[in-house]
Structure 1
């Protein structure tokens, strides 16, 4: 007859220690790249307030001249390029041994609602974060309750 043992005591090691050990093991198994990527997708956060939307696009190392923002057919297209710090054509340039950063061109598209005033869209690049302000159009009415008399 088999004997089953049950231990109802909580684990002596915290889960945080196990998670950090697992992260370390997984980090070492990631493939090491020896050349920069050709494209990447920047992370975006979208906020909504009473005055409109705000898109926060994380683009570290991208110059403001390398970013292009277009609006067409109800979509906002943000594109640009992050250049690699190493010029591969230069023979005296340092050699890349491991690349964990993303380089190359990027493009993000956002479908905008009809309530946005497209002529008042504003963009500002600060500390590697692109802030795109999308104010609501105060002249358009999207919701209105009609009183019955």
Structure 2
């Protein structure tokens, strides 16, 4: 006797089979554990995501990203279709010379974070500044849309 799956073929099928496969569940749990352990160790984390805070006032949206050790030349800020993207690369090199040893360490990692902006934002009015490894982006809020009621006339 053959049985049919009640799950439609497509992306959901892959999710369902992954959830029921004990080896896939084990692999997922191991990945989660290693990600947690290596997140704050330079050079071991495959995705070095900067911490970000987003706040707003009546007039502006303020985005603050922690980018320790990065300069203005290491970060690129783009806006495309109301999507603000902060992209950069962390490069860390350290060299120690001592009487008994010579240590050279290098770690690299690129990152990208995106934030959706409200419709109507004037891209030319967005400002950004970086100081002491903290990037602050200020996005002026667009003017509220005005609703105009149009009078309907009867046809003669």
TM-score range, shorter chain: 0.5 to 0.7
* In structure 2, C-alpha distance between the alignment counterparts of 1:34 and 1:44, rounded to whole Å: 19
TM-score, structure 2 normalization = 0.57
Contact kept, 8 Å, 2:70 with 2:90, in 1: the verdict is yes
Q: Distance in 2 between matches of 1:34 and 1:116?
A: 37
More helix as a share of residues? 2
Cα shift at 1:45: 0.2
Q: How many residues align?
A: 106
In structure 2, how many angstroms separate the alpha carbons of the residues matched to 1:129 and 1:55?
10
Matching of residues 1-149 of structure 1 within 5 Å: 36-37=43-44, 38-86=46-94, 94-96=103-105, 103-138=108-143, 141-142=144-145
How far is 1:82 from its partner? 1.2
| Ranges in structure 1 where 5+ consecutive residues have no aligned partner | 1-29
Name the CA distance, whole Å, in 1 between partners of 2:54 and 2:42: 32
CA RMSD, aligned part only?
Answer: 3.0
Does the 8 Å contact 1:39/1:103 carry over to 2?
no
Moved runs in structure 1, 4+ residues, more than 6 A?
none
Which TM-score applies when normalising by structure 1? 0.59
Considering Cα pairs closer than 8 Å and 6+ residues apart, tell me whether 1 or 2 has the greater RCO. Answer: 1
SS in 2 for 1:116: coil
